[in-house]
């Protein structure tokens, strides 16, 4: 009985540590403002999952790192209008998810980063995807997420 309690306590402590390592640093999603007509905006998000909850995943736009996705987070990124290569990397041995996005001035697009969880989850992220979502569907998903960018002086970065 004592051995079982030690195991449960250790598992809980490890879970708390891992959750703290990759929790989103920003505020909860509270809505969106209009995109300025001269620019475009990309929102990439990752829903909360027990698998890989302690792992942040770098996001690249046209080969340049623009931020990281944490468990249950979204990354709001202004970009220039045009065609862009988007990539979410999952680690040294993991499969990256990639998408090409054509975006016009004044437009906002949503990409959902998803990966297999549950009994089929794997450390190589085989089966991960980066798929465009409609604004209506994405808004439902975003309501439970936090920003991947930290707040600075009470203002969202």
**What pLDDT digit, counting tens, does each position of 89-139 carry?**
887 777 788 999 999 999 999 999 887 677 766 666 666 779 999 999 999
CA–CA dist 96, 64 (Å, integer): 14
Mean pLDDT check: name the lowest of 1-5, 13-17, 37-41, 126-130.
13-17
Query: Considering the entire predicted model, what is its pTM?
Result: 0.77
Output the pLDDT for position 156.
47
- Where are the domains positioned within the chain? 2-152
Output the pLDDT for position 119.
72
Element holding 10 (H helix, E strand) = helix 2-21
Output the pLDDT for position 78.
96
CA 25 from chain centre, in angstroms, equals 12
Q: Give the number of other Cβ atoms within 10 Å of residue 54's Cβ.
A: 16
Output the pLDDT for position 85.
98
Output the pLDDT for position 19.
41
Q: What is the CA radius of gyration of the chain?
A: 17
**Model confidence pLDDT, tens digit, residues 63-86:** 999 999 999 999 999 999 999 999
The three-class DSSP label of residue 90 is: coil
Mean pLDDT for the stretch of residues 31-54: 90
Q: Which residues pair with 59 in a beta bridge?
A: 67, 88
- For domain 2-152, give the CATH number: 2.60.40.10
């Amino acid at each position: 009985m004592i051995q079982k309690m030690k195991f449960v306590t250790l598992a809980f402590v490890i879970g708390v540590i891992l959750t703290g390592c990759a929790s989103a640093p920003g505020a909860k999603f509270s809505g969106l403002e209009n995109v300025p007509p001269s620019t475009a905006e990309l929102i990439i998000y990752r829903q909360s999952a027990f698998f890989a909850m302690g792992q942040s995943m770098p996001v690249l736009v046209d080969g340049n790192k623009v931020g990281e996705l944490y468990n249950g987070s979204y990354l709001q990124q202004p970009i220039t209008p045009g065609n862009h290569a988007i990539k979410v990397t999952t680690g040294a041995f993991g499969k990256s998810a990639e998408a090409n996005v054509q975006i016009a001035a004044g437009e906002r697009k949503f990409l959902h980063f998803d990966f297999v969880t549950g009994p089929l989850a794997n450390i190589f992220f085989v089966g991960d995807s980066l798929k465009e979502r409609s604004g209506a569907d994405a808004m439902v998903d975003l309501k439970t997420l936090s920003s991947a960018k930290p707040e600075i002086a009470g203002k969202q970065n």
